[in-house]
Amino acid sequence: MNNPPKFAVIGGGSWATAIAKMLCVNLPEIAWYMRSQSAIDHLKAEKHNPNYLSSVEFDTKKLRLTSDINEAIAYADYLIFAIPSAFLSKELEKLTVDLKGKVIFSAIKGIVPETFLIVGEHFHKNFDIPYDNIGVITGPCHAEEVALERLSYLTIACADSEKAKVVANYLSCHFIKTKISDDIIGTEYAAMLKNIYAIAAGIAHGLGYGDNFQSVIMSNAIREMKRFIKKVHKMKRNINNSAYLGDLLVTGYSVFSRNRMFGNMIGKGYTVQAAQHEMSMVAEGYYAVKSAYKLNQDYKAKTPIIDAVYEVLYEGKEAKKVFKKLTDKLD
């Protein structure tokens, strides 16, 4: 390829920073949108993001930094969205340029709370983007480990395998291995659901349950995920692949998991507000559980773990009692 496609990263958080780092390995230039002008000024002067993954040094000659989302979108052929799903609608309200013809990949692991849609569906329904131009970047991959260049694996899903290959190609490097998938709906729901299960694992830990029970939660969670995704979109998929099970495990067990950390605080007796206040980062699972619970009123999959987390976070029930009941429903 003589002229590589132009990429823009949308978002200024840790995952956006990690994706920008991967793309910079392979591309001469990328556009990078972040809301904060002061973060951009710092990046230009100091070569790193002041707020997230600040150990990562960038060659700023490769970065077209902007605090205008339209400028980044107008520049690029491929857009990678990596902002928390709770803030996506607000950012998209700023659009004045057309998304027609753009290829949109979501690196957002959550549901858009205003519409209860996963990000791909949101773009399809609200912006008329054909599914062939929508993709997902997922897999067991914590931004903090990408920053340290520890080997990580990503799954790039898109209905159009050629576009998945393009994105996979430009994200691959000596510390990132990629594979492609056509299960765009399943991988995106898996990415959203595993954050809920990580909160459950955290709550259990905070309540004083040990590793034995955590493994039971994880074993039940992957089966629960399979039931839920099958109701949403039935197709042949191996739920034990890295994009599903691998992502669930790293989110449930890793010290870098913000959802697990959030759950741990809840288990220890923090209120939702206090836990959110203490964490500087968004725990996607908090929004995801409300959406998944509401969606499941229609799907009616058997989801005891999602139900338990919902009761604790949204119905104000006591975690200890809810999890005591949950222990009788798991096997």
- Other C-beta atoms closer than 10 Å to the C-beta of 331 total 7
What's the confidence (pLDDT) of residue 280?
Answer: 75
Which helix H or strand E contains 66, and what residues bound it? strand 63-66
Q: Taking residues 166-185, report their average pLDDT.
A: 96
Taking alpha carbons only, the member of 176, 174, 178 closest to residue 152 is 176
Per-residue confidence at 281, pLDDT binned at 50, 70, 90?
confident
Q: Which residues are 66's β-sheet partners?
A: 33
The residue ranges of every structural domain in the chain are 7-182, 186-329
**Which amino acid makes up residue 217?**
I
Cross-strand pairs, 179: 155
- C-alpha 258/C-alpha 284 separation (Å) is 9
For residue 73, give the H/E element and its range: helix 69-75
- Percent of the chain topping pLDDT 70: 99
What is the CATH T-level fold of the domain 186-329, as seen in this structure? N-(1-d-carboxylethyl)-l-norvaline Dehydrogenase; domain 2 (1.10.1040)
Tens digits of residue pLDDT in 15-51: 999 999 999 999 999 999 999 999 999 999 999 999 9
| Catalytic positions, written as ranges | 194
For the chain, percent of residues with pLDDT exceeding 90: 87
Are β-strands 78-81 and 63-66 bridged in parallel, bridged antiparallel, or unpaired? unpaired
| Other beta carbons within 10 Å of 157 | 28
pLDDT one-digit tens code per residue, 265-275: 999 999 999 99
Domains 7-182 and 186-329 belong to one CATH topology:
no
Q: Name the CATH superfamily housing domain 7-182.
A: NAD(P)-binding Rossmann-like Domain (3.40.50.720)
Alpha carbons 147 and 14: distance in angstroms, whole number: 9
